[in-house]
Amino acid sequence: MTTASVEELRSRTRALLSEFDPADTEPLDFLRARFDAGLAWVHFPVGLGGLDAPRALQAVVDAELAAAGAPDNDPRRIGIGLGMAAPTILRYGTDEQRSRLLRPLWTGEEVWCQLFSEPGAGSDLAALATRATLGADGVWTVDGQKVWTSSAHTARWAILIARTDPALPKHKGITYFVCDMTDPGVEVRPLRQITGEAEFNEVFLTGVRIPDTDRLGAVGEGWQVAQTTLNNERVSIGGQRTPREGGLVGIVAGTWRARPELRTPELQQRLLKHWVDAEVLRLTGERLRQQLTVGQPGPEGAGTKLGFARLAQELTGFEVELLAEEGLGYDDWTMVRPELVDFNGREAGYRYLRAKGNSIEGGTSEILRNIIAERVLGLPPEPRTDKDVPWKDLAR
């Protein structure tokens, strides 16, 4: 169905709603039926939750379903699955992997996490040291340590990159896997953040067994596969669709309008600047999504992620100043293991602290500037002396 029209999608959505009335259907049953009807992510292939339709038409389906009070799959809880694992599985997975993994991922029955960063490999991700070796029985054994793993404590599956050939240069000896988080060799330990909450984790992998059928892409081509994940990650963090004055800027502007006693001329100038920046970012994101309708995101997503991180930090700082002592009222340091990050639903003090991570997660702002300079603008690359050296000979 490459020429799906708005009308066709509306009538398919209405047919789903009449067969599965949200008022008396279990939310999970509804979500499964929606997936099977191809209305989960309409740009995915038929049989995998989609209709091969233009991505932009998803908004038509979403609006019909929201108006009918249909349950959604709570994207905040399963963001890594939806935004990063799914596009990678779609592009590199076998037919068997796609049909086994995508449905429970989309319905939220199976949460995903991302086992990429390591204590010695963050910005320089290709330096990673977690080892995977293939046994004669066709099963890989994985040993190593990952870190900063969001949602590892709720995840059923992980996307994992590991070194499979230390004799090759660092980008070449990496392979990409789907890792079962219930394997007895997976140990998840909480890591507390500046907010006091432990939304992410350290993950220790000791003799973890991964069947070769859970490899994504060819052996040694994990770096290329990971680019699909990372490009999608930047879009998924920085490129969310919002209406004008949606999201954080709307919250802050709402406080400004409702609380005239807080205003000063200096704060007004700053709010106006942030408001304009938010609008520019929103429109840039809109343009980026139009490009996405025709393929996988490229390095351009780095720009929206960069802008999003800067704006989130400026706006949350502004909000705390605006609210003065009220804004500082975040002082409960009880250990919490959140299932999701409800950024906009929280208090200003939490938002201010949590936004600090925005310029680190999904690639630091410095690294994103390098990506834009080299891969978008074509400026001369950073000197890289270790590119052709076998990974095992690198100083670590």
**Residues belonging to the active site:** 233
Of 110-118, 204-212, 284-292, 325-333: span binding ligand FAD (CB under 6 A)? 110-118
**123 sits near ligand FAD (criterion: CB under 6 A):** yes
In the complex with ligand FAD, which residue's Cβ is closer, 50 or 81? 81
In the complex with ligand FAD, which residue's Cβ is closer, 360 or 372? 360
Of 1-9, 137-145, 260-268, 358-366: span binding ligand FAD (CB under 6 A)? 358-366
Site for ligand FAD in 131-170 (CB under 6 A): 148-150
Minimum Å gap between C-beta 162 and ligand FAD is 12
Minimum Å gap between C-beta 203 and ligand FAD is 9
**363 sits near ligand FAD (criterion: CB under 6 A):** yes
3-state SS string over the chain?
A: CCCCCHHHHHHHHHHHHHHCCHHHCCHHHHHHHHHHCCCCCCCCCECCCECCCCHHHHHHHHHHHHHCCCCCCCCCCCHHHHHHHHHHHHHHCCHHHHHHHHHHHHHCCCCEEEECCECCECCCHHHCCCEEEECCCCEEEEEEEEECCCCCCCCCEEEEEEECCCCCECCCCEEEEEEECCCCCEEEEEECCCCCCCCEEEEEEEEEEEEHHHEECCCCCHHHHHHHHHHHHHHHHHCCCCCCCCHHHHHHHHHHHHCHHHCCHHHHHHHHHHHHHHHHHHHHHHHHHHHHCCCCCCCCHHHHHHHHHHHHHHHHHHHHHHHHHHHHCCCCCCCCCCCCCCCCCCCHHHHHHHHHHHHCCCCCHHHHHHHHHHHHCCCCCCCCCCCCCEHHHCCC
**194 sits near ligand FAD (criterion: CB under 6 A):** no
Binder among 13, 58, 117, 304 for ligand FAD (CB under 6 A): 117
Of 48-56, 206-214, 217-225, 354-362: span binding ligand FAD (CB under 6 A)? 354-362
Minimum Å gap between C-beta 117 and ligand FAD is 3
For residues 220 and 165, is the Cβ–Cβ distance under 8 A? yes
Total interface residues for ligand FAD by CB under 6 A? 19
**200 sits near ligand FAD (criterion: CB under 6 A):** yes
Minimum Å gap between C-beta 69 and ligand FAD is 32
Q: Alpha carbon of 369 to those of 111, 269, 301, 307, 374: distances in Å?
A: 31, 28, 11, 11, 9
**87 sits near ligand FAD (criterion: CB under 6 A):** no
**114 sits near ligand FAD (criterion: CB under 6 A):** yes
Query: Encoding tokens for residue 174?
Result: 């990496």
Binder among 227, 242, 284, 370 for ligand FAD (CB under 6 A): 370
Of 68-76, 94-102, 209-217, 362-370: span binding ligand FAD (CB under 6 A)? 362-370
86-39-292 Cα angle (round to 5): 50
Using CA atoms, how far apart are residues 121 and 203, in angstroms rounded to an integer? Answer: 14
Minimum Å gap between C-beta 172 and ligand FAD is 20
Minimum Å gap between C-beta 181 and ligand FAD is 13
Binder among 56, 262, 360, 394 for ligand FAD (CB under 6 A): 360
**367 sits near ligand FAD (criterion: CB under 6 A):** yes
**364 sits near ligand FAD (criterion: CB under 6 A):** yes
In the complex with ligand FAD, which residue's Cβ is closer, 3 or 385? 385
**279 sits near ligand FAD (criterion: CB under 6 A):** no
- Judged by the rule CB under 6 A, the positions of this chain that interact with ligand FAD are 113-114, 116-117, 122-123, 148-150, 200, 357, 360-361, 363-364, 366-367, 370, 382
